[in-house]
Structure 1
């Protein structure tokens, strides 16, 4: 038997003794209760039955009969979230105009139950609600975040070996007098940063295929390696119907997976974009002031010389490069079994 049950049993004994003796004063004196306690115990027993004999903590019998309804309480809380600096009287008057009837003391009671009695507490509730609210960012806001936020700046593509991911892109070099527009088809291995580049007077699928077929794939075959995936933007020279587009068909024949970046998100193809800036700063802007080019072939000859220096002699400061040349990292990133085949081929030769 619990303590509450023992107390209830004692109160019931008090009521039974008073009935048997016919004298409330004597029964209270025997049981150690006052007359006021006796009449309160009898009233609770007559109203609630045996449950009325159990002692209850203040407020444990349910909400106060004058407490506002849940609908009104929600309306008060919603209004205070919208106007946290208004007082209880103004809240009651404003809700009355909206068809919600509540007194100023009713509003204060709602505030007391939710710890919102002061203006500061209501403002802190607004701040918390705003912090937890999800906001859909526009494209412009996303671009600004990626530009200035360290979290976005530190994101990078992870590759594990040579040829796992190769990035391609078309770069507008400029206008050559007597020739027209000049475009650069750039290809770069994302693991080693080894780069290839070829200049054209147009940007067509056939030019994108040409640089892969004539320069990139033969170099990988020479080192007994292969390209697993190519990453490009959504340009027309790279993307189209898989059954008719020349570039898509070429990749299918070579069993190379084709991935594309998100629209208007050049930073997702950051390796090749950074390569373009390097070419501008270290080659095109310098050679364009030193020489007067008359043909694309002349530009290609100087570009080939720069790419040889870039790939084999120039220390690279990119992520995980540690000052090594792209060619050194290219060779180190070859799969082990392919390295063995390459060494045996060299010994045979």
Structure 2
């Protein structure tokens, strides 16, 4: 039996699989190109999804780089988890330059190190392994942007962000989700109900105690590298 477990573990490592057990254990992030608006310019969306509860975050920028990727976590995601007294444990991203680079001078990698957040990177040439973000991006395109751009002429990113925030609130608190762990509940309901599970595993140290088989779900990932720890950070990193 031990040999079988070891073999299964090796197979998972070979295929780069990682698992999620509770809110904040694995959070996926992606960059989505919204498009070009005359008078405003190119618009990019930083998408963040908690893989357990499916609760989502979206913020718009006029650029795509490590600084805005870090700002997204600092401005929207980390404060939300702190509000609920939960720690964000691990980020899942692709290998784009906004997420990966020299850890000593890359704003995103450095921010993860400062916050003591692990970083898993999607297997090269396998974008489907971050399918949770891709599905959300399709949803926000079809249910928000396609409708909003027909109804309204936007003259600033801030104006579009305000409408996106209203839609995101509805997505998280009113729109039911059929995914694993949600079972027809909204992402916010699933998140709140998962807080007790998260605190249980975090208190018991998840590295030592493995949850039951039915408590897990897997996402493709090539490695599970941990960022080095930095001693300091600066608010000047982030976009205001």
What's the Cα RMSD here?
1.6
Q: 1:337, 1:293 → 2: CA distance?
A: 40
Q: Deviations over 1:125-171 (max 9, x none)?
A: xxxxxxxxxxxxxxxxxxxxxxxxxxxxxxx9742111010000000
Higher fraction of helix? 1
Question: Are residue 207 (structure 1) and residue 59 (structure 2) matched?
Answer: no
Q: Which residue of 2 aligns with 1:218?
A: 79
Q: 1:218, 1:176 → 2: CA distance?
A: 30
Q: Which residue of 2 aligns with 1:240?
A: 101
TM value normalised by structure 1: 0.51
Q: Which residue of 1 aligns with 2:89?
A: 228
Q: Which runs of 5+ in 2 are unaligned?
A: 1-16, 201-240
TM value normalised by structure 2: 0.74
SS in structure 2 of the partner of residue 203 of structure 1: coil
Q: Which residue of 2 aligns with 1:328?
A: 189
Q: 1:217, 1:256 → 2: CA distance?
A: 11
Q: 1:191, 1:337 → 2: CA distance?
A: 10
Q: Is the 8 A contact 2:86 2:198 kept in 1?
A: no
Q: Which residue of 1 aligns with 2:46?
A: 185
Could you say which structure has the greater relative contact order, defined with CA pairs below 8 angstroms and 6 or more residues apart? 2
Q: Report the structure number with the largest CA radius of gyration.
A: 1
Q: Which runs of 5+ in 1 are unaligned?
A: 1-155, 340-349
Q: 1:238, 1:281 → 2: CA distance?
A: 26
Higher fraction of strand? 2
Q: Is the 8 A contact 1:233 1:261 kept in 2?
A: yes
Q: Which residue of 2 aligns with 1:174?
A: 35
Q: How far 1:224 sits from its partner (Å)?
A: 0.4
Q: Is the 8 A contact 1:169 1:185 kept in 2?
A: yes
Q: Which residue of 1 aligns with 2:8?
A: none
Q: How far 1:211 sits from its partner (Å)?
A: 1.0
- Correspondent of 1:286 among 147, 157, 160: 147
- Correspondent of 1:308 among 169, 172, 184: 169
Q: Is the 8 A contact 2:94 2:122 kept in 1?
A: yes
